[in-house]
Chains A and B, each alone.
Chain A
């Protein structure tokens, strides 16, 4: 079930053009997929989470999500190491749909460098990017 009250694009987060969100706290990044992304995917039925300790590279695939018979690869926006995974998603992958910025988080990444990619968007830029995408549709 979708949480209609959840803020669509919280201002305290950064976003990527591939629709991930990032909560940045010094060297720790919590990552999930945006409200738009989960809506596009539909009901999520399976999440293949990475192992804790796995090294991730910027723009490299590191996990998969399945919905509507489609497997979608998820890419890391930065270089780092997986330090936590949301184990609740194993039992209840639908949390990504119902609470994408809360209980539906995917992983925590410890980053090596404090310099983050300059392609990250704030919520206003991300919403404008989405408007362009939808307009072009």
Chain B
């Protein structure tokens, strides 16, 4: 049966707002006061988003400040992502009965992304880097949440699961800026930084590296079609509800702090 979801294109916003809004939609959905949603958005100013439980030791906050890069903590897991030239998707959906396990949802959404990229002429696959890698930089780590092209990571995703709803968001890289990316992390030695920098192009890729210039409108269109076909959805172009706007304003205070605790 076709399900009706809302499509939101919320444009470019600061990281704090982007994360507060994702969580606000999740909360309001859990209360049954809004529709399941696919949201597409970008970040301005550029922003480094950290995983929910990621330590700050490996992050060069001074360098971020100097470069005008915001830093925000995501409500989801995983490692740091530099949102510079990229498009972020978020899916906020109820936990139906039976609820999709975290692996099943990664798989399902990745299938939608695979279909979207295929219509742009890009062949992507689920199993990318052969070894499971742990690194504070999301695009140097690999796991079941990731989508790759020619064994290089193209999309990194993460989830937040509450009792009644799930948020999955992910970063689709349009182009990487390795010099900037490597300046926002701290490395134990210059040697390691050099090594990781030199292998980065073998482990991570971007849409522009694969097919050249990308038209953002076209990218959004194929993503919408991919989700529509794979998840059997019909979208309506929606707006934020009053409840969502109010909840976002409340959550902004939480996301302005880099380290928040459970209350």
Contact = CB atoms under 8 A, between A and B. Distances in A.
**How many interface residues does chain A have, given as a range?**
20 to 34
- Which among A42, A50, A61, A69 has the greatest number of chain B C-beta atoms within 10 A? A69
Contacts of B52: 64, 66, 71
B94 interface: no
A63 B262 contact: yes
Interface string A49-73: 0100000000101111011111111
A67 B106 CA distance: 13
B103 to A, nearest CB: 7
Nearest to A75: B163
Interface residues of B, number: 25
A69 B262 contact: no
Contacts of B159: 69-71
Given A40-B102, A66-B53, A48 B160 contact: no
B77 A69 contact: yes
Contact of B98 (A46, A48, A133): A133
A26 interface: no
Interface in A12-64: 18, 40-42, 45-46, 48, 50, 59, 61-64
Contacts of A91: none
A68 B163 contact: no
A137 interface: yes
B161 interface: yes
A40 B76 CA distance: 17
B262 A62 contact: yes
Interface string B15-59: 000000000000000000000000000000000000111000000
B143 A64 contact: no
Nearest to A60: B163
A134 B104 CA distance: 13
Given A42-B103, A133-B98, A69 B143 contact: yes
A75 B157 CA distance: 24
A136 B101 CA distance: 13
Contact of A68 (B145, B156, B160): B145
Closest 3 A/B residue pairs (Cβ)? A69-B78, A70-B159, A69-B158
Interface of B: 51-53, 75-78, 97-98, 101-103, 106, 143-145, 156-163, 262
